[in-house]
Amino acid sequence: MINLLFAGDFIPPETSGSLYSAELKEVLKDKDFSIVNLETPLTKSIAAIQKTGNNFKRSPEVVKHITDGFFDAVALSNNHIRDYGDQGVLDTIQVCKDNNIRTVGAGKNAREALKPLRLNIKGKNISILNYSEREFNIAGENKAGANAFDLIDAYYQIKTEKEENDFVIVVYHGGIEYMKYPTPQILKSFRYLIDQGADAIVAHHTHFYSGMIEYQGKPIIFSLGNFYAETSSKSPDRAFFIGLLAKISIDEKRNITTTLIPTLQNTNTGRVSVANQTNRSEILNDIKNISNTISSEKELKKIWDNHYQKEKERLINLFLSKSKFEYRIRKRLGFFSKMSAYKTAITLNLLRCDAHRFKSVEILEKLMK
């Protein structure tokens, strides 16, 4: 039996004390290989890039929390790895290398970021591919960063890796934050990747746990939630502090089974522990209900239709605001202006038409330089 352990979003604290309960440490040790999503660069750089959202970083010393968790590797293809530019990416990779932690999903350029993490465990060759959605994180021809998800590129890479390995596992970073459900588009893409040869898909990014389904006998885990993260929110959702460890087991007959192990982050002690029986049952029951919804096209569409309706005002204010200050004023005072029919049509066409969207992205990326 081969046991692979996957953990979700990890932003290690700057504290030096023990982060894990004794019981959790035993769980983290019980594996042949483990990997966690390192959601921050480890760097002393002060050169934050211009972007939307927070720029994360941690000092290189917090690598102790990765080694204390017995993690063999970190997934680096995420939306924060390039928050401190090339230097932040390269520092992170070097810190991991110096501490015998393998990396996947980021590199000094796009070619390096694309490289799979290849393992040989008990005579079986396993390839781990790490992708993330495009934000301000993506590597380029001469730019360090994350490995971007492209469905066509992923198709070819999975085909190649499956020819040379016994198993291919996709680790994906993307989705809508603070939602417990994948978008219908993500669900469709994941099923396609399984059809092309992926043996399992594990995702994170949303900061909430999600459901799990089996497709063609292969597991798809839509989000592991936070392994450890901090928030500035005054009233964070309880789900923010709940994570999942996914143990993927492969037997001698190539059968794959998945066990989900809920974890809890204690906001008072700052430690992570295995959920007790009561919490575990509650979380796993919620995951079962979420999974049933994901499996129903009608119910999943209803979830997202409701979400998009709630997001309409925020989205239009983002489009209409000329600055961050104006957007904050609109948000605080409850301003809501309708977009003209002309502006709505132009914006929709620029976003919906592939050719116009690609052109717009190219132009805007050049303006950001």
**Could you list the pLDDT tens digit for every one of the 369 residues in the chain?**
999 999 999 999 998 889 999 999 999 999 999 999 999 999 999 999 999 999 999 999 999 999 999 999 999 999 999 999 999 999 999 999 999 999 999 999 999 999 999 999 999 999 999 999 999 999 999 999 999 999 999 999 999 999 999 999 999 999 999 999 999 999 999 999 999 999 999 999 999 999 999 999 999 999 999 999 998 887 789 999 999 999 999 999 999 999 999 999 998 888 999 999 999 999 999 999 999 999 999 999 999 999 999 999 999 999 999 998 898 888 887 776 789 999 999 999 999 999 999 999 999 999 987
Q: Say how far apart CA 356 and CA 22 lie, in whole Å.
A: 54
What pLDDT is recorded for position 364?
Answer: 95
Distance between CA 166 and CA 173 in Å, rounded? 23
What are the backbone dihedrals phi and psi of residue 102, each rounded to the nearest 5 degrees, phi first?
-80, 155
Question: DSSP assignment, residue 62?
Answer: G
* CATH 3.30.70.120 fits domain 2-295: no
Give the C-alpha separation, 89 to 298, whole Å: 41
CB-CB contact of 84 with 57 (8 Å) = yes
Number of other CB atoms surrounding residue 63 within 10 Å:
20
Q: Say what the pLDDT of residue 334 is.
A: 74
- Where are the strands (E) in 16-166, listed by range? 33-38, 73-75, 102-104, 106-107, 117-121, 124-132, 145-146
pLDDT of residue 83: 99
Helix (H, G, I), strand (E, B) or coil at 25: helix
- Three-state secondary structure call for residue 368: helix
Residue 306: its pLDDT value, please?
98
- Delimit the CATH 3.60.21.10 region(s) of the chain: 2-295
Q: What are phi and psi of 220, to 5 degrees?
A: -125, 115
pTM: 0.96
Contacts of 34 (CB under 8 A, 6+ apart): 4, 5, 6, 7, 28, 69, 70, 71, 72, 73
pLDDT at residue 255 in the model: 96
Phi first, then psi, for residue 39 (nearest 5°) are: -90, 25
